[in-house]
Amino acid sequence: MTDAGGGPDWPIEYALMSSAPAGNGLLTPPIALKKIQATGPKTDLTANSGPVFIIGIINEKGKLQALRAIRTLDVRAQSAINALAQWEFLPAQLEGKPVASKILIGVSVMPTEEGGKQD
């Protein structure tokens, strides 16, 4: 993922929300400016340590919307959604103009002793 926000790298796929106008416009990716690590209780993470996949939208202003987990609805998924909700992005751009994009992000949830949020 292209980012300026530090923190762990998480894989992201993105696509234009609406159909592109005719032409050879270049779609540039959204850029993460602020990233928050997803954390959860150690006991909840031992059963499945793989990434949690979250889908959603990054709007034209870089705000995340409609975040939801796919394939899992457990504590790890909620931890991933809570962390992503705090991220800040520069939106994707088409021909230099901000556009909304659909996203799929693989979020790694790290164990904490308390299971609380990490700031």
CATH number at residue 53: 3.30.2420.10
Q: Is residue 29 part of a domain?
A: yes
Q: Is residue 6 part of a domain?
A: no
Q: How many domains would you assign to the chain?
A: 1
pTM of the model: 0.78
Using a pLDDT cut of 90, give the percent of the chain over it: 48
Residue 41 tokens, joined: 């209780």
> How far is CA 77 from each of CA 5, 51, 57, 111, 113, rounded to the nearest angstrom?
22, 9, 17, 13, 18
Cβ 2 vs Cβ 31: under 8 Å: yes
Q: Is residue 41 part of a domain?
A: yes
Q: Is residue 117 part of a domain?
A: no
Q: Is residue 7 part of a domain?
A: no
At 63-94, the pLDDT tens digits run 999 999 997 778 889 999 999 999 999 999 99
Q: What is the pLDDT of residue 23?
A: 62
* Containing structural domain, residue 86: 12-112
Q: Is residue 34 part of a domain?
A: yes
Cβ 60 vs Cβ 93: under 8 Å: no
> Is a pLDDT exceeding 80 seen at residue 2?
no
> Is a pLDDT exceeding 50 seen at residue 119?
no
